[in-house]
């Protein structure tokens, strides 16, 4: 079985996010960028399925400017087999654009399984996997914390508000990964060297026949208000009093 | 206390001072470039921060211990070693034929900084393996290489260096361990001390490199041979078999690096295999010496960086003093704390630049095809190695001490962890040749021996930088100080050349001042070179503005605060040996 994994290049989770002076967007100039942690978990899960003998090939896709290749190389160094870079240049895109592009890749590659992070840590949309499943007319399981392939089905444990939900899906299917699914491996030095030689093909939205719509426009970005310092209260009674009358949460 | 590799500064030095891409092109390493180097550093950084750094305190609090005949490593070290080895990190420098990645020394050095910052006691184990592998790769017969290198490159086995004996420390001529021929091998007997990671139970075998004397060997340094002595004899199938006659008698109780077992090793009729030719042990050791000494210098950088990160975090969080509006002041805003942090930060940047530039000279020597170029780079390696080892490790004493000072009383309390770096750093000016030994090497073999020729070439290069620097940074204190420091370097060279025939004790008395002078000067030179690059980038609007401006501030601070120390060094050099040597021994 072939697995397609989508990966996104985002601001590194260690970096303190700064807003541009004109509030037009987050300042990404010279900021360290890395593979989205949820996507990294998706790559790891694909690798584990291959190691378990379930998958035979792992194809990694990323969309963006030239630097998007960096996160494909990261995934290849983790162990994925080949990469596809969709060169979107500097185009602004929304989740539906991304899902359409990925849909064309899925159409061409015919994978048994598509794995995506449940959301990217930059804009936290949590939309692409769901849209992609609809476009491909595949069953979907989001927020996966366990994935097992059994014959023509995949059994997925989902983290939902009320606890855990287990679904059986017919393959091919789309799965979006949650944080507790696995702990991604450390990249091995020889794999970094090998990743340079693994095939990475380039395509464009035009070649895939997708016209980018981007129906969203970003109006303004503001940093959250700074937290004011806390106060120490004398007693539990006073705490309840303050919660009732000052904070007005009780 | 967490650790994050300063990847931006390392990348800056590799790009603009080492010229890493050019180095790889010249070396014919087509597939290696700065981009690859940065991704290697990034992944190594994760291993350092997430696997090795969290074990640093535990390794200090609960050092390696001897239980029966076995050395039990500190908590977590075994698992960390397994992950480290599985990551292929030991194979970085090794030739592809033995399962290695054949990457340049400059990159290896940048990566090693991460291991030593994250956990110096742990990192000594792979460091010794690397040294042993280099010895075997350079000097052992092909059959021995095939038997031992693949296991060591994969990290499945570790390596050690057994040189020192109770009566043979800095003076290796006194080595007494005996090697008696027996068929195709030798029987080794004797005692070695201070053997770093000499024994442990983390791997199924350990490959010891041992200096010993053959029965008919000439006395002194010309009669020492080098042997491979495995802990377990390697059978025909390549797997470890019977236990060899080597064991750890005891572990030393040390000031620092508690996680690194320092062993007294006993060899009793142990089977050993001669490396290369008989009686060539010391020359073989010397070929490894430059690399080993630069690596210890690098440890000085690494431990200073760790101490700096810890002090910086404390200075941001610790509140002392109250403003009129009642708000508290983090101590990072106090000028004297700023002075200490800037001394650490700017000193570290100078140390990193020198460590990586010197490491790249080893590559340039190795890969050069033109004999004249090869000789020029080799001379530069010879010249810079004692400076890297001596100056970086002496700086580490001051900078890790400042790390404690910034913590105030809390720094003296072990729980903060600041004291550990200071204790761990203390070995660095001692092992692999004390500062005194480095300084004697520098002033004697590297300076007086060629009448200061190699040093003059270095001074000429610094002069070129100074000329450009005094134009671009005209009117600044930094330009003035670089000028004065260069003059001091030139004057010191001339003074020693002119006076060492009349004052016989001159060079041996002033050598440490001489070494430190050139350490500070090289640091100022490379920060100036970096600043010229940073300024050019800023002028064109390229690169990370905040980072580049910080580079300029660091440079100014270093030239103003640290570079003037060259003047004190020069004054002490000019004073000569008279009053150092005048005191009658019984008045001490």
From A101's Cα to the closest Cα of chain B, the distance in A is 28
pLDDT band at B286 (very low <50, low <70, confident <90, very high): confident
Question: Whole-prediction pTM value?
Answer: 0.94
- Average pLDDT score, chain A: 94
| Residue A250 is assigned to a structural domain of this protein | no
Mutate to test the interface with B, among A192, A198, A228 (most CBs of B within 10 A): A192
- Best of B43, B111, B551 to mutate (most A CBs within 10 Å, chain A): B43
Measure CB to CB from residue B544 to each of A30, A70, A186 and give the nearest one: A30
- Cα radius of gyration (chain A): 21
Query: Is the pLDDT confidence value at B84 over 90?
Result: yes
With contact defined as beta carbons under 8 Å apart, do B306 and B421 qualify? yes
**Does a structural domain hold residue A46?**
yes
Task: Give the three-class secondary structure for A174.
Answer: strand
Query: What SS3 state is found at A194?
Result: helix
Q: Which residue would you say has higher pLDDT here, A249 or A42? A: A42
The most distant pair of C-alpha atoms in chain B lies apart, rounded to whole Å, by: 86
Nearest CA in chain B to A187: B43
Q: Tell me the chain A residues in contact with residue B39 when contact means C-beta distances shorter than 8 Å.
A: 70, 73-74, 77, 192
Residue A110, chain B, CB below 8 Å: the answer is: no
Of the two residues A32 and B346, the one the predictor is more confident about is: B346
Closest CA of chain B from A240, distance in Å? 27
Number of H helices, E strands in chain A: 6, 11
Q: How many domains does chain A have?
A: 1
CB neighbours of residue B210 within 10 Å: 28
From chain B, the residues in CB contact with A74 under 8 A are 39
For B:4-33, CB contacts with A below 8 A are 4, 7, 31
Of the candidates B390, B415, B411, B414, the one whose C-alpha atom is nearest the C-alpha of residue B402 is: B411
pLDDT of residue A76: 97
The token duo for B534 is 């940073």
Q: How do residues B476-491 score in pLDDT, each as one tens digit? A: 999 999 999 999 999 9
Q: Would the CB atoms of B101 and A189 count as touching at under 8 Å?
A: yes
User: In Å, how far is B544's CA from the nearest CA of chain A?
Assistant: 5
Residue A99 inside a domain? The answer is yes
Residues of A in contact with B33 (CB under 8 A): none
Residue B277, pLDDT score: 96
> The tokens 């979107």 sit on which residue?
A88
User: Quick one: pLDDT band at residue B75, thresholds 50, 70, 90?
Assistant: very high
Q: Are B278 and B218 in contact (CB under 8 A)?
A: no
Q: Tell me, what's the pLDDT at B427?
A: 98
Task: Kindly determine whether residue A189 and residue B91, on different chains, have CB atoms separated by under 8 Å.
Answer: yes
| Residue B42 is assigned to a structural domain of this protein | no
Domain that holds residue A189: 2-245
Taking the Cβ of residue A186 and every Cβ of chain B, the question of whether any pair is shorter than 8 Å is answered with: yes
Determine contact: A118 vs chain B, CB below 8 A: no
The first and second tokens of residue B580, run together, are: 């150092």
In angstroms, the CA B134 to CA B149 distance is 9
pLDDT at residue A58, rounded to an integer? 98
Residue among B446, B486, B449, B481 at smallest CA distance from B464 = B486
Known catalytic residue at B79 = no
DSSP character at residue B73: P
Is B197 at the interface with chain A, CB within 8 A?
Answer: no
Q: How many domains does chain B have?
A: 1
Distance CA B354, CA B343 (A): 16
Q: pLDDT tens for residues A3-19?
A: 999 999 999 998 889 99
The answer to the question of residue B228 being in a domain is no
Contact B530, B321 (CB under 8 A): no
Torsion of Cα atoms, A206 then A210 then A216 then A220, to 10°: -30
Query: Which of B86, B544, B545 is the closest to A188 by Cβ?
Result: B86
What pLDDT was estimated at residue B562?
98
| For B93, nearest residue in chain A (alpha carbons) | A189
Distance CA B444, CA B442 (A): 6
Contact B544 A77 (CB under 8 A): no
What is the pLDDT at residue A227?
81
Question: What is the distance between the alpha carbons of residues B218 and B171, in angstroms, rounded to a whole number?
Answer: 16
Share of chain A above pLDDT 70, in %: 100
Residue pLDDT, tens place only, A194-239 = 999 999 999 999 999 999 988 888 899 999 888 877 788 899 999 9
Residues B91, A14: C-beta atoms closer than 8 Å: no
Q: CB of A198 within 8 Å of any CB in chain B? A: no
Taking residues B389-417, report their average pLDDT.
97
The single residue listed with the structure tokens 């490199």 is B209
pLDDT in tens, B237-267: 888 999 999 999 999 999 999 999 999 999 9
CA distance B102 to B108: 10
Would you call B91 and A190 a contact, using CB atoms and an 8 Å cutoff? Answer: yes
Q: Residue B285 above 90 pLDDT? A: no
Burial tier of B100 (Cβ tally within 10 Å: 0-12, 13-18, 19+)? buried
Burial class, B493, CB count within 10 angstroms (exposed 0-12 / middle 13-18 / buried 19+):
buried
Res. A42: pLDDT tops 80: yes
B38–chain A Cβ distance below 8 A for any pair: no
Q: Say if residue A118's pLDDT is above 90.
A: yes
Task: Report, as an integer, the average pLDDT of B77-83.
Answer: 97
What is the pLDDT confidence band of residue A246, given thresholds at 50, 70 and 90?
confident
Identify the pLDDT of residue A215: 84
Kindly identify which residue of chain A lies nearest to residue B108, measuring between CA atoms. A189
Closest chain B C-alpha to A229 CA, distance in angstroms: 11
Nearest to B146 by CA among B13, B256, B247, B238: B238
Question: Percent of chain B beyond pLDDT 90?
Answer: 94
Domain membership of residue B523 (yes or no) is yes
Residue B27 has pLDDT above 80, yes or no: yes
Flag if A192 and B91 touch (Cβ within 8 Å): no
Please work out, in degrees rounded to the nearest 5, the angle formed at the alpha carbon of residue B223 by the alpha carbons of B222 and B224. 100
Q: How many CB atoms lie within 10 A of CB A201?
A: 10
Q: What is the pLDDT of residue B69?
A: 84
Q: Which whole number is the average pLDDT over B499-506?
A: 94
In a domain, B486, yes or no: yes
Q: Which of B182, B432, B480, B483 is catalytic?
A: B432
Distance from CA of A98 to the nearest CA of B (A): 27
Residues of B in contact with A14 (CB under 8 A): 4
Residue whose C-alpha is closest to residue A88's, from A74, A75, A105, A76: A105
Structural domain of residue B500, as residue ranges? 443-579
B positions 511-550 inside 8 Å of A (CB): 543-547
Q: Is residue B55 part of a domain?
A: no
CB A79 within 8 A of CB A9: no
Alpha-carbon gap: B89 to the closest alpha carbon of chain A (Å) = 6
d(CA A149, CA A140): 14
Chain B, nearest residue to A34 by Cα = B42
- pLDDT band at residue B56 under the 50/70/90 scheme: very high
pLDDT given for residue B172 in this prediction = 86
> Does a structural domain hold residue B515?
yes
Residue B113 has pLDDT above 80, yes or no: yes
The pLDDT assigned to B156 comes to 96
Contact call for residues B360 and B105 (beta carbons, < 8 A)? yes
Residue A119 maps to which CATH number?
3.40.50.620
Residue A229: closest C-alpha in chain B:
B327
CB contacts of B47 in chain A (<8 Å) are: 186
Give B-chain residues touching A189 at CB under 8 angstroms.
40, 43-44, 87-89, 91-92, 101
> Taking the alpha carbons of A52, A189, B261, B69 in that order, is the dihedral positive or negative?
positive
Does B46 lie at the interface with A, CB-CB under 8 angstroms? yes
pLDDT at site B269: 97
Measure CB to CB from residue A196 to each of B31, B44, B545 and give the nearest one. Answer: B31
ipTM of the complex: 0.90
**What would the pLDDT profile of B162-201 be if each residue is shown by its tens digit?**
999 999 988 888 999 999 999 999 999 999 999 999 999 9
Q: Is B96 on the interface with A (CB under 8 A)?
A: no
Least confident of A217-221, B383-387, B409-413, B479-483: A217-221
**pLDDT at residue B207 in the model:** 97
Rounded to the nearest angstrom, the gap between the alpha carbon of residue B100 and the centroid of all alpha carbons in its chain is: 22
- B487 occurs within a structural domain: yes
CA dihedral (A142, A146, A149, A153) positive or negative: negative
Separation between Cα atoms, residue A71 and residue A55, nearest integer Å: 21
- In this prediction, residue A248 has a pLDDT band, given cuts at 50, 70 and 90, of confident
Chain A closest-CA separation from residue B115 CA (Å): 14
Residue B290, domain member (yes or no): no
How confident is residue B450, by pLDDT bands cut at 50, 70 and 90? very high
pLDDT the model gives residue B533: 98
The predicted structure's pLDDT at residue B7: 93
* Residue B328 clears pLDDT 90, i.e. is over it: yes
Average pLDDT, chain B: 96
Res A137: pLDDT = 97
* SS3 of residue B543 by DSSP: coil
* Residue A161 lies inside a defined structural domain of this protein: yes
Measure in Å the smallest separation between the Cα of A31 and chain B Cα atoms. 8
Token reading at B475 = 């009117």
How confident is residue A105, by pLDDT bands cut at 50, 70 and 90? very high
């Amino acid at each position: 079985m072939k697995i397609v994994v989508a990966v996104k290049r985002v601001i590194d989770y260690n970096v303190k996010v700064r807003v541009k002076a004109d509030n037009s967007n987050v300042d990404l100039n010279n900021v360290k960028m890395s593979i989205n942690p949820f996507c990294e978990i998706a790559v790891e899960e694909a690798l584990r399925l291959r190691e378990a003998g379930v998958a035979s090939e792992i194809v990694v896709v990323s969309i963006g400017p030239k630097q998007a290749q960096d996160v494909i190389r990261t995934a290849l160094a983790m162990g994925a087999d080949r990469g596809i870079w969709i060169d979107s240049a500097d185009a602004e895109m929304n989740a539906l654009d991304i899902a359409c592009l990925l849909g064309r890749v899925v159409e061409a590659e015919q994978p048994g399984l598509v794995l995506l992070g449940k959301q990217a840590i930059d804009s936290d949309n949590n939309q692409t996997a769901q849209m992609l499943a609809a476009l491909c007319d595949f069953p979907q399981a989001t927020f996966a914390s366990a994935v097992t392939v059994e014959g023509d089905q995949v059994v997925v444990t989902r983290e939902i508000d009320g606890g855990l939900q287990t679904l059986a899906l017919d393959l091919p299917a789309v799965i979006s990964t949650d944080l507790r699914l696995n702990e991604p491996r450390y990249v091995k030095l020889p794999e970094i060297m090998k990743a340079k030689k693994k095939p990475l093909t380039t395509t464009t939205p035009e070649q895939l026949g997708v016209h980018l719509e981007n129906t969203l426009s970003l109006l303004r970005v503001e940093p959250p208000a700074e937290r004011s310092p806390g106060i120490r209260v004398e007693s539990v009674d006073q705490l309840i009093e303050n919660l009732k009358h000052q904070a007005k949460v009780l | 206390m967490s650790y994050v590799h300063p990847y931006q500064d390392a990348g800056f030095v590799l790009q603009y001072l080492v010229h890493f891409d050019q180095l790889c092109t010249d070396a014919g390493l087509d597939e290696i470039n700065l981009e690859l180097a940065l991704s290697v550093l990034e992944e190594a950084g994760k291993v350092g921060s997430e696997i090795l750094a969290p074990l640093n305190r535990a390794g200090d609090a609960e050092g390696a211990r001897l239980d029966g005949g076995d050395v039990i490593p500190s908590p977590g070290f075994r698992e960390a070693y397994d992950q480290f080895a599985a990551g292929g990190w030991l194979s970085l420098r090794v030739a592809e034929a033995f399962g290695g990645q054949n990457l340049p020394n400059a990159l290896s050095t940048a990566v090693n900084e991460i291991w030593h910052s994250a956990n110096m006691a742990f990192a000594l184990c792979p460091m010794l393996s690397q040294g042993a592998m280099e010895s075997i790769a350079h000097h052992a017969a092909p059959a021995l290489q095939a038997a031992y290198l693949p296991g060591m490159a994969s990290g499945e086995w570790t390596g050690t260096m057994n040189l020192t004996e109770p009566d043979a420390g800095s003076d290796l001529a006194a080595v007494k361990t005996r090697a008696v021929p027996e068929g195709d091998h030798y029987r080794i007997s004797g005692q070695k001390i201070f053997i770093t990671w000499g024994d442990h139970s983390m791997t199924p075998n350990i490959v010891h490199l041992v200096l010993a004397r053959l029965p008919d060997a000439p006395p002194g340094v010309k009669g020492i041979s080098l042997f491979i002595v495995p802990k377990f004899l390697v059978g025909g199938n390549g797997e470890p078999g019977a236990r060899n006659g080597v064991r750890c008698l005891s572990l030393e109780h040390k000031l620092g690096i508690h996680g690194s077992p320092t062993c007294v090793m006993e060899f009793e009729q142990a089977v050993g295999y001669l490396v290369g030719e008989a009686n060539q042990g010391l020359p073989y050791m010397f070929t490894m010496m430059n690399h080993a000494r630069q690596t210890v210098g690098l440890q000085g950088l690494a431990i200073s960086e760790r101490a700096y990160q810890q002090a910086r975090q404390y200075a941001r969080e610790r509140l002392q003093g109250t403003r009129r509006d009642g708000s508290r002041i983090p101590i990072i805003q106090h000028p004297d704390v700023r002075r200490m942090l800037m001394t650490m930060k700017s000193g570290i940047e100078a140390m990193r630049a020198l460590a990586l530039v010197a490491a790249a000279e080893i590559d340039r020597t190795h890969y050069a095809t033109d004999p004249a170029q090869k000789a020029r780079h080799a001379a530069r390696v010879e010249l810079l190695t004692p400076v890297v080892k001596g100056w970086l490790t002496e700086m580490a004493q001051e900078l890790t001490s400042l790390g404690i000072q910034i913590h105030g009383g809390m720094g003296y309390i072990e729980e903060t962890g600041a004291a550990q770096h200071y204790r761990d750093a203390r070995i660095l000016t001692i092992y692999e040749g004390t500062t005194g030994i480095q300084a004697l090497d520098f002033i004697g073999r590297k300076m007086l021996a060629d009448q200061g020729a190699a040093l003059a070439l270095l001074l000429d290069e610094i002069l070129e930088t100074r000329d450009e620097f005094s134009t671009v940074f005209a009117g600044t204190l930094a330009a003035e100080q670089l000028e004065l420091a260069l003059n001091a370097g030139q004057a010191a060279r001339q003074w020693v050349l002119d006076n060492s025939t009349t004052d016989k004790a001159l060079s041996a008395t002033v050598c440490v001042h001489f070494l430190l002078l050139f350490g500070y000067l090289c640091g100022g030179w490379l920060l100036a070179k970096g600043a010229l690059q940073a300024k050019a980038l800023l002028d064109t609007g390229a690169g990370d503005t905040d980072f580049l401006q910080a580079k300029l501030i660091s440079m100014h601070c270093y030239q103003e605060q640290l570079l003037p120390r060259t003047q004190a060094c020069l004054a002490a050099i000019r004073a000569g040996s008279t009053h150092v040597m005048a005191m009658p021994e019984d008045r001490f």
